[in-house]
Structure 1
Amino acid sequence: MMKQLSKEQLLSIHSNGNIQLPQAMHLQLPEKVLQFGTGVLLRGLPDYFIDKANKAGLFNGRVVVVKSTGKGSTDAFAAQDGLYTLCVRGIEQGKMVAENILNASISRVLSAAAEWPAILQCAENPGMQVVISNTTEVGISLTADDVHAAPPASFPGKLLAFLYRRYQHFKGAEDKGLVIIPTELIVDNGKKLKEIVLELAARNNLPQDFTNWVTQANYFCNSLVDRIVPGALPAKEQATMEQELGYKDALMIMAEAYRLWAIETNSPVVRERLSFSEADSGVILAPDINVFRELKLRLLNGTHTFSCGLAVLAGFGTVRQAMEDTAMEACIAALMLQEMAPAITDIYITAAEAARFANSVLDRFRNPHIAHQWLSITMQYTSKMKMRNVPVLLRHYSRTQEVPQLMALGFAAYLLFMRSEQTAEGAYKGTANGQQYTIQDDHAAWFHDQWKRLEPGVLVKTVLSNTELWGTDLTALKGFAPAVTGMLSALLQEGPRSVIKKVNHVKMSV
């Protein structure tokens, strides 16, 4: 019978080239990082980088993890001494990647509810240097909180209490400040977290000297993370991996090959403390990370949004299935490389950078180990089109008066996807390939009404001219409304699969 992964069991594991193992000394490294969150993204990205750096002798520090929520327990981490297997699966530069890594970056996991004094004691560790968080977007918000509670209710409250204990213990020493890097998916996450912490300090009547120390001795860095970490492997694959590796692992997770952690800083102190950044090109320290956010928002998220309606209508369940279809793959690639990438190049983003990022996105879309549902991407479709794609469309027209045919197709497919029937329960249901799907969009009722009242040509003009939806009149874009109307007519008369092949053939022949 296989034994559970643990520090003791580690000594008997033989890699045989199947897994990257830590050495005994890596389990004795000092604690340098406090991490709020036990989720798979943190274990698959920041903890991956730290473990890799430790094995390269670059960072030489481990992570104390704080479990902030009351759900679940820390038992699995305790039973395995914080060890877990990360299975990296995907495509990188056109080549399949399959790596198994036994991650030894986590020293222990502490429950905020049950072990708050032990967490505060970590603030007294002179070697503590970095704080990382991923508490969901809701975590970085201002709520009434008591910094003296055990523990404070909110994540910013817990962080403030930790900083206050550190300030008191080291008597405000300048060199005992921390590098604080939230990874929550909101713009300017570091800046917003700092503002909330300072506001909570004022509401809790903490000393002005402490507030000055927070501002002057600590570094709150904006950051952007990008890696798909689905989490646990499918049961059959998990069993196969455990058999191959020779141990059971309740914490085994999978991540795609692509990884990015862009951290905004121009401080030599921060660069020195984040020495793990030297171990992997996926960690980028830069004075401005907006370029990386723009690339991700437009070329990854934007391509998803332009393609999701068309993919659902054409009968593709997942992104991977669409990329396995020659015509659909070519359509998505042409959309990204020929229309979207040129539209976002400017003095900050070069054509080469946009093309390189676009090709990495296509590799990610092709990953056979990720089952990303197209229907889930259609959630709040209208707001995603406005935020992600209308700016790209406008930038395209600022450079050229030519109609972007594939953007027009994506918009037409969006309109057709939003055609619905209302159920007795009030839900809005569309139909594709004989199957119903639920439209989860705040504007579903409005589109339902437009489709009931208007013929397609009028509907296109009505939707595109709606400045409340888009912030601008899209019928003012030369030739765009007629192109969308033509694409919508073709989708209705010929069907999505036929249109994909036809538009792809025209695009490739240009």
Structure 2
Amino acid sequence: MTSQRRLSLEALKTLPAAVQRPAYDPAGTTAGIVHLGVGAFHRAHQAVVLDDILAADPQWAIVGASLRRPDMRDALAAQDNLYTVAERSGEGTRLRVVGSIKSILVAPEDPEALLAAMVDPKVRIVSLTVTEKGYCHDPATGDLNPRHPDVVSDLENPHAPTSAPGLLVEALRRRKAANVVPFTVMPCDNLPANGPTVHRIMAQYAALIDPDLARFVENDVAVAGTMVDRIVPATTEADIAEIDAALGLSDAWPVVTEPFIQWVVEDRFPTGRPDFSAAGAEMVSDVEPYERMKLRMLNGSHSTLAYLGYLAGYPTVSETMADPAFERLVRQLMTEEVMPTLEMPGTDLAAYRDALIARFHNPALKHRTWQIAMDGSQKLPQRFLGTVRDRLAAGQPIDRLALGVAGWMRYVTGTDESGAAIDVRDPLAARLKALGDEAGGDPERLATAYLGVEDVFGRDLREDPAFVRPVTRALAGLFENGAAATVLTHAH
């Protein structure tokens, strides 16, 4: 344990000159945003953009909320909610201290405190990074899952909710009752059409409570869709030690990221918003084309690298990309199978592809394949299966997409190529392992079993030989020859 002094408002003036610090007094800001899911990605992305805005407009600080655990609150409360962002590239590391988060609330400890913050008239935006699974929806359809345990629990006690949909709807109900204008909801997660999808999920949840409330959510609440992009690996003990040494102070939970950052925001904020564009965000009337481009090109490639790279024994994305066959695979995946499904007039998709490949190669990030592989059952529909359906409808081949799907199937059996256990983190992990055990390593039986999981694949794909055949063939290759050799045969 370090004996260094802790990062704090008082300690800011002692920081080395090279460390960027807030260009405003964090104590002098007011909270205009409540953010649900205050994890590493939010702290490296939206909170950084707002940190750039607060000097000119101090009314947009953030009240963060953890929906599960107190770890983040406990780590940052003792340092005035300041934390360090380390931007790493081949050229070195740049440090900045961010002060845009005023406080962090822990929903399970005190849901009333969080709801009170969301009902505060000064709060005009509630944003979210709760991951795909946090929306309690069916990824295959994009609808609320009324049987989700968190939804069932919230419906039994709707005035003390714990889920993201439950919290949003209850806070909006309270604002309506108090005659306070509704906040704008701003999802920042990787969901297809995240604005319309989250609006639909909220209205469907409200309809299970009260039809009038559902109409209010549907007609009077604005949801601003977004596309967010920045690679943020999990912070390690080695990262903390290196950052503490550079600061000359102790920071309990810094974040590490890349220099690249992108935020595309649908300009739908009837009660006002920060000047996002002043800090580099792109304001648009329709975010969906950007979102589809990112989900299919970046996230689809990332997941392909994660499953196949992990199985091939590569701990990080940059190590996976150092294998020429893997680089060829993702380049061909994007160029030949993904880019033809995207209509982006005025956007240079080839330049975007090349930038992604350069980012995946960044050796300073050490983004673990295991981390990206988490929650695959929630990610596959938007990262792979939209592209798959578009290509099948056009009668086009899907060999590399099928290999990515087969990589996920091989990974979630829970056993790697050497017979060692894989720590599969997924809401469906137990069910997927049971199906894998039952199939007993037979690729055909395994593909049939997994394609029958409607939560992921819906009902259409398991009936389509043009999908089933290449997935089964790729899965057989992974079992017979291993990931590295199978990638080599698909990257030619």
Match in the other structure for 2:171:
162
Q: In the alignment, does 2:316 pair up with 1:321? A: no
Match in the other structure for 2:259:
257
Unaligned runs of 5+ in 1: 421-426, 454-466
The normalised TM-score by structure 1 is: 0.71
Report the Cα distance in structure 1 between the residues aligned to 2:483 and 2:208, rounded to whole angstroms: 57
Match in the other structure for 1:363:
358
Match of 1:220, SS?
coil
Deviations 1:436-462 (CA, angstroms, capped at 9, x unpaired): 565975764686564599xxxxxxxxx
Match in the other structure for 1:13:
14
Give the letter aligned to residue 263 of structure 1. Answer: V
The 10-residue stretch of structure 1 (136-145 or 76-85) with the greater mean CA deviation from structure 2: 136-145
Deviations 1:388-436 (CA, angstroms, capped at 9, x unpaired): 55664676688897xx7xx64775797699789xxxxxx77453xx565
Contact map agreement 2:28 2:58 (CA 8 A) in 1: no
Contact map agreement 1:89 1:98 (CA 8 A) in 2: yes
Deviations 1:106-162 (CA, angstroms, capped at 9, x unpaired): 112234455555545545644321111233444434445479877434333333343
Report the Cα distance in structure 2 between the residues aligned to 1:134 and 1:228, rounded to whole angstroms: 14
Change in Cα spacing, 1:384 to 1:52, as seen in structure 2 (3 Å) is: closer
Match in the other structure for 2:452:
none
Pick one of 124, 138, 149 that aligns with 1:129: 124
Unaligned runs of 5+ in 2: 137-150, 446-458
Match in the other structure for 1:340:
337
Pick one of 465, 473, 485 that aligns with 1:473: 465
Match in the other structure for 1:75:
74
Give the letter aligned to residue 243 of structure 2. Answer: M
Report the Cα distance in structure 2 between the residues aligned to 1:216 and 1:410, rounded to whole angstroms: 39
- Number of residues of Structure 1 aligned to a counterpart in Structure 2: 455
Contact map agreement 1:113 1:151 (CA 8 A) in 2: no
Report the Cα distance in structure 2 between the residues aligned to 1:204 and 1:417, rounded to whole angstroms: 37
- Alpha-carbon distance, 1:49 to partner: 1.4
Change in Cα spacing, 1:260 to 1:215, as seen in structure 2 (3 Å) is: same
Match of 2:348, SS?
helix
Report the Cα distance in structure 1 between the residues aligned to 2:206 and 2:375, rounded to whole angstroms: 36
Contact map agreement 2:184 2:223 (CA 8 A) in 1: yes
The 10-residue stretch of structure 1 (95-104 or 108-117) with the greater mean CA deviation from structure 2: 108-117
Match in the other structure for 2:295:
297
Change in Cα spacing, 1:153 to 1:343, as seen in structure 2 (3 Å) is: closer
- Alpha-carbon distance, 1:28 to partner: 0.4
Deviations 1:298-337 (CA, angstroms, capped at 9, x unpaired): 2223334555665456543432112223454344334433
Contact map agreement 2:306 2:372 (CA 8 A) in 1: yes
Give the letter aligned to residue 222 of structure 1. Answer: G
- Alpha-carbon distance, 1:32 to partner: 0.8
Contact map agreement 1:299 1:340 (CA 8 A) in 2: no
Match in the other structure for 2:243:
241
- Alpha-carbon distance, 1:257 to partner: 3.0
Pick one of 104, 109, 116 that aligns with 2:99: 104
Change in Cα spacing, 1:147 to 1:199, as seen in structure 2 (3 Å) is: farther
Match of 2:270, SS?
helix
Report the Cα distance in structure 2 between the residues aligned to 1:124 and 1:417, rounded to whole angstroms: 41
Q: In the alignment, does 2:62 pair up with 1:63? A: yes
- Give me the identity figure in percent: 23
Contact map agreement 1:231 1:255 (CA 8 A) in 2: no
Q: In the alignment, does 2:217 pair up with 1:220? A: no
- Alpha-carbon distance, 1:197 to partner: 4.6
Highest Rg: 1 or 2? 1
Report the Cα distance in structure 2 between the residues aligned to 1:74 and 1:58, rounded to whole angstroms: 25
Contact map agreement 1:417 1:430 (CA 8 A) in 2: no
Report the Cα distance in structure 1 between the residues aligned to 2:163 and 2:338, rounded to whole angstroms: 40
- Alpha-carbon distance, 1:489 to partner: 8.3
- Alpha-carbon distance, 1:62 to partner: 0.8
Change in Cα spacing, 1:102 to 1:219, as seen in structure 2 (3 Å) is: same
Contact map agreement 1:386 1:470 (CA 8 A) in 2: no
Contact map agreement 1:34 1:130 (CA 8 A) in 2: yes
Report the Cα distance in structure 1 between the residues aligned to 2:245 and 2:374, rounded to whole angstroms: 39
Match in the other structure for 1:87:
86
The 10-residue stretch of structure 1 (145-154 or 127-136) with the greater mean CA deviation from structure 2: 145-154
Match in the other structure for 1:461:
none
Match of 1:219, SS?
coil
Match of 2:85, SS?
strand
- Alpha-carbon distance, 1:279 to partner: 0.7
Contact map agreement 2:204 2:214 (CA 8 A) in 1: no
The 10-residue stretch of structure 1 (71-80 or 128-137) with the greater mean CA deviation from structure 2: 71-80
The normalised TM-score by structure 2 is: 0.73
Contact map agreement 1:30 1:62 (CA 8 A) in 2: yes
Coordinate RMSD, CA, aligned: 4.6
- Structure 2 counterparts to residues 74-473 of structure 1, below 5 A: 74-90=73-89, 96=91, 98-113=93-108, 115=110, 118-122=113-117, 125-141=120-136, 142-143=151-152, 145=154, 151-169=160-178, 171=179, 176-195=181-200, 197-198=202-203, 208=212, 214-215=217-218, 217-232=220-235, 234-265=236-267, 267=268, 269=270, 272-280=272-280, 283-304=281-302, 306=304, 311=309, 314-337=312-335, 339-345=336-342, 348-350=343-345, 352-374=347-369, 388-389=383-384, 392=387, 408=399, 411=402, 429=415, 431=417, 436=420, 444=436, 448=440, 450=442, 470-473=462-465
Contact map agreement 1:418 1:448 (CA 8 A) in 2: no
- Alpha-carbon distance, 1:40 to partner: 1.8
Change in Cα spacing, 1:308 to 1:113, as seen in structure 2 (3 Å) is: closer
Deviations 1:446-490 (CA, angstroms, capped at 9, x unpaired): 86564599xxxxxxxxxxxxx97554222899xx89xx79x9889
Report the Cα distance in structure 2 between the residues aligned to 1:496 and 1:226, rounded to whole angstroms: 28
Change in Cα spacing, 1:284 to 1:73, as seen in structure 2 (3 Å) is: closer
Report the Cα distance in structure 1 between the residues aligned to 2:325 and 2:354, rounded to whole angstroms: 17
Match in the other structure for 1:458:
none
Report the Cα distance in structure 1 between the residues aligned to 2:198 and 2:392, rounded to whole angstroms: 37
Report the Cα distance in structure 2 between the residues aligned to 1:386 and 1:108, rounded to whole angstroms: 35
- Alpha-carbon distance, 1:51 to partner: 0.9
Match in the other structure for 2:45:
45
Contact map agreement 2:222 2:270 (CA 8 A) in 1: no
Deviations 1:32-54 (CA, angstroms, capped at 9, x unpaired): 11122332222222212111222
